[in-house]
Amino acid sequence: MNKKEISHFRRQFKPDNEYLTINHLFNVYVQKETGEIFHHESTPFEMLEIETQDLFLNNFKKVLSGTVDAKLFTLKFKRESAMDNAAQHTLYQSIQANNQTDKERLMLEMVEKIFSTKVYDFDTVVTFVQGEYRKPVKKRDPNSDEGGNDHIYDNKFILCSLNKTDQPETSYTFDYIEKEFKSAHHVDPVINLTKPLTGFLFPAMHDGASDVNHILYSAGKANEPDETFIDEVLECEEMMTAAESKDSFELVVNKLAGDQVDADTLSNIYEEIDQIIQDSKDEEEPNVPDLDYHDVEHILTSSGVENIDTKTVKDTLQTIFDDDQYSFKTESLLPKKVKINTEIAKIAIDPKHLKNVKYITYEGKRCLLLEIEDNVEIEGFNLDTSP
């Protein structure tokens, strides 16, 4: 799923939405250290109090929030996982089951699978919600005799959210009835729905249609996916985070252009990448393409790097990734800020301003020259430019 598809789906989690129906909420309370299921409960979503519905709707949106390939990852199921006890098969059976009892049994199987690989030092609650998502894909001709609304894709889905429980704190309160101050001892654990530990959406969706061969995984922290969860629980293929992809691209550039490049060359490389992103956004169906060896060759050659050809690029990819057809996620390669590190200062600038940076020798000393247009302000004071 791309950024636009995820964003559109996330926005559907709101009350009384004709395009999204949530059927049941299934909560499973799991004890710390043992990973044993202590209690589970299924409730029709519409039977929950409005305040409770809002809490969970916001929780689901949290699971679906974050940067693609940093916090949200579209993962492909392993081919060898098409067996009765595989995650893909269990999840597919769950959304296809005709009665709630079968759905709950299958979801409990997933919970046991989750806690067979990891046990937390605090109690947790795993929440499953199943529903239907209707995506309009084409407006009907208003002059047509055909009745009904828009053409739509009708997708069944299951969304999972794993949340931490916090122990309540003793508080000092005032009792209006008895008119006295006293300590309040709360014993019920509080489910933290504001910061999901992890979660997933099955199936993933592409162009409004379900894709049962992929799942959308949500990491707890950006660029820190749980590899064990991905491999042993979801049984999906390995992937690379945005940070890892960026580091890998820099390694390729380093191998091809040398470990020392000037600011103009780096600036040109980032401009070429940004141009590819902007060109894709101008298309009727925006979709930023991945960069293969042809694109890497073009970017480096256009940026002024010498002695670059197809064979050299493919050999470099083969050496680093053991795959000369390896491709990069384009949007992961363009940094928001370029960091310049020296012994006495650390500077962060926009990639488009790299051409304003020069590394020079002045009066026998190495200097970093920043060409600027405005005055320089330091801690609220304008810097004096007099000699």
Do strands 151-166 and 190-191 pair parallel, antiparallel, or not at all (unpaired)? antiparallel
Instruction: Retrieve residue 162's tokens.
Output: 């794993």
Q: Tens digits of per-residue pLDDT, 126-147?
A: 999 999 988 766 655 555 555 5
Highest mean pLDDT among 285-289, 338-342, 382-386: 338-342
Q: Which of 13-27, 212-226, 261-275 is least confident? A: 261-275
- Report whether pLDDT(183) > 80: no
Q: Tens digits of per-residue pLDDT, 325-367?
A: 888 888 888 888 888 888 888 888 888 888 888 888 988 998 8
Q: Tens digits of per-residue pLDDT, 69-109?
A: 999 999 999 876 445 558 999 999 999 998 999 999 999 99
Task: Return d(Cα 193, Cα 19) in angstroms, integer.
Answer: 24
- Are the CB atoms for 26 and 97 separated by under 8 Å? no
Angle at 10 between CA 8 and CA 15, to 5 degrees: 110
Looking at residue 258, its pLDDT comes to 80
Going from the C-alpha of 9 to that of each of 46, 61, 201, 269, 378, the distances in angstroms are: 20, 9, 11, 34, 45
Tell me the mean pLDDT in the region 154-164. 93
Looking at residue 377, its pLDDT comes to 79
Looking at residue 352, its pLDDT comes to 84
- Report whether pLDDT(11) > 60: yes
pLDDT band at 370 (very low <50, low <70, confident <90, very high): confident
Going from the C-alpha of 242 to that of each of 144, 204, 248, 276, 363, the distances in angstroms are: 47, 19, 10, 17, 42
Sign of the four-CA dihedral 73, 74, 76, 81: positive
Task: Return d(Cα 36, Cα 145) in angstroms, integer.
Answer: 59
User: What is the separation of C-alpha 134 from the centre of its chain, rounded to a whole number of angstroms?
Assistant: 23
Where exactly are the structural domains of the chain?
3-238, 243-332, 338-382
Task: Return d(Cα 223, Cα 240) in angstroms, integer.
Answer: 9
- Which conformational region is residue 207 in: left (phi greater than 0), alpha (psi within -120 to 50 degrees), or beta? left
pLDDT band at 151 (very low <50, low <70, confident <90, very high): low
Looking at residue 350, its pLDDT comes to 87
Q: Which of 167-176, 279-288, 336-345, 364-373 is least confident? A: 279-288
Looking at residue 90, its pLDDT comes to 93
Looking at residue 238, its pLDDT comes to 86
Looking at residue 179, its pLDDT comes to 81
Tell me the mean pLDDT in the region 18-40. 93
Looking at residue 123, its pLDDT comes to 94
Residue predicted with more confidence, 242 or 233: 233
Looking at residue 44, its pLDDT comes to 94
- Report whether pLDDT(115) > 60: yes
Looking at residue 286, its pLDDT comes to 60
pLDDT band at 185 (very low <50, low <70, confident <90, very high): low
Q: Which of 40-54, 192-206, 322-336 is least confident? A: 322-336
Query: What is the average pLDDT value for the chain, to the nearest integer?
Result: 86
pLDDT band at 177 (very low <50, low <70, confident <90, very high): confident
- Report whether pLDDT(225) > 70: yes
- Report whether pLDDT(162) > 60: yes
Instruction: Retrieve residue 252's tokens.
Output: 């390729």
- Report whether pLDDT(149) > 70: no
Length of the chain: 387
Q: What percent of the chain has pLDDT over 70?
A: 90
Looking at residue 143, its pLDDT comes to 59
Q: First vs last Cα of the chain: how many Å apart?
A: 57
